[in-house]
Amino acid sequence: MFQTGLGKRLLPILLLFAASGPYGACFSMNRFAAEDGIPFLPYVFLYTAFGTAMLLIVCAVFRQWPRLTRKHILVYLTIGAFGLAIPYCIFMIAAEKLPAGIVSIGLTLAPLLTYVWAMLLRMDRFNLIRVGGIIAGIAAVLLILIPEASLPEEGMGAWVLFALLGPLSFSLAAIGGAYFQPKEAEPLEIATGVMVAGTIMLAPIVVAVGDWWFFPNGLNIGGWSVLISGAINAYFFAMFQLIIRKAGPVVFSSNNFVTTLSAVIWGIIIFGEQHSAYVWGAIALMCLGLFLVTRPTAPMSAKAMS
């Protein structure tokens, strides 16, 4: 089915929705955790550790362990730092100040930043249609930031700008994951290596800060948020590698459009969040951007990339 022109066009979109639909729920889990009083560093560390444990069990079942070559370790460290430890701490801090749907809006900048990195590293070529899609994503962000009426409270604009450090970090993870990608890397081993790396990076920070939390009230809403976020992230990082292999880092980074839409929908379902017409206009622009960014482009020749 996916060998035809239409199939090749649909496959990256289907993979993006399969990965980012569940992932958008993490923003609501972050809000649950923040409202339950869970300190953000222990929260991020615990759900990363839980996701790591899940993936290690899967690796044991299938007897497929992460390889430790130089390129594998570089991928684990790059994605673990810029795709997990750094942005998740940013989003957890922002979750205390912004609605779940609004926090995710800035993710639409990740495709632009990834595309810039890809062209600088000669991993992709300039394509006007794809640029148009990225501009649509930027316009969506501006539609949120510029009109005062688009944010529920005054003073939130600064926190939205802070949250934009997240997509910058994600863009580095996407481009690094593609640039250092070993040949024949398996999604399970990359996902496991990334989660292990992220857990190891976060552990000394949690110890240094000294702010700890470990299910003092059992599996209440905060405890379930930890477990659900861990499971979602374990799944998402397996999809991360699969999408990069099938469609490249720029298309993968457009998962942020889908994540934003998903996060808004989850926020409405779980919290009953209400958004202005500006936000819905931004979502429409994101959908247009997704359509344009995922259009197939001619691959770079070996000569051009050398």
End-to-end CA distance of the chain: 33
Which amino acid would we find at residue 269?
I
> 16 vs 83, 245, 253, 256, 290, CA distance in Å?
16, 13, 9, 9, 10
pLDDT score, position 197: 94
Q: Where is average pLDDT lowest: 2-6, 62-66, 232-236? A: 2-6
232 within domain boundaries: yes
User: Under 8 Å CB-to-CB from 190, ≥6 apart: which residues?
Assistant: 66, 72, 75, 76, 79, 177, 237, 238, 240, 241
pLDDT score, position 300: 46
Burial 86-119 (b: 16+ CB within 10 A, else e): bbbbbbbbbbebbbbbbbbbbbbbbbbbbbebbe
pLDDT score, position 299: 45
7 within domain boundaries: no
253 within domain boundaries: yes
pTM of the predicted protein model: 0.73
By residue range, what is the domain housing residue 185? 18-297
Q: Is the Cβ–Cβ distance between 167 and 259 less than 8 Å?
A: no
Question: What does the angle CA 15 – CA 74 – CA 105 come to, to the nearest 5 degrees?
Answer: 45
CA 257 to chain centre: 10
Question: By C-alpha distance, which of 201, 162, 158, 260 is closest to 45?
Answer: 201
23 within domain boundaries: yes
Residue 226: band (very low, low, confident or very high) from pLDDT cuts 50, 70, 90: very high
46-58: average pLDDT: 95
11 within domain boundaries: no
**Mean model confidence pLDDT for the chain:** 80
The radius of gyration computed from the CA coordinates of the chain, to the nearest angstrom, equals 19
Residue 166's CB: how many other CB atoms inside 10 A?
Answer: 24
pLDDT score, position 55: 95
Q: Is the pLDDT of residue 250 over 90?
A: no
Which amino acid would we find at residue 304?
A
10 within domain boundaries: no
pLDDT score, position 57: 96
Which amino acid would we find at residue 178?
A
Q: Is the pLDDT of residue 50 over 90?
A: yes
Q: Which residue is listed with tokens 């370790």?
A: 73
pLDDT, tens digit, 9 for 90 and up, residues 14-35: 888 888 889 889 888 988 888 8
Question: By C-alpha distance, which of 21, 20, 11 is closest to 295?
Answer: 11
Residue 296: band (very low, low, confident or very high) from pLDDT cuts 50, 70, 90: low
Widest Cα–Cα separation across the chain: 60
Residue 218's CB: how many other CB atoms inside 10 A?
Answer: 8
Question: By C-alpha distance, which of 221, 205, 213 is closest to 38?
Answer: 213
Q: How many domains does the chain have?
A: 1
Q: What would the two tokens of residue 6 be?
A: 């239409």
305 within domain boundaries: no
pLDDT score, position 181: 80
13 within domain boundaries: no
CA distance 1 to 5: 9
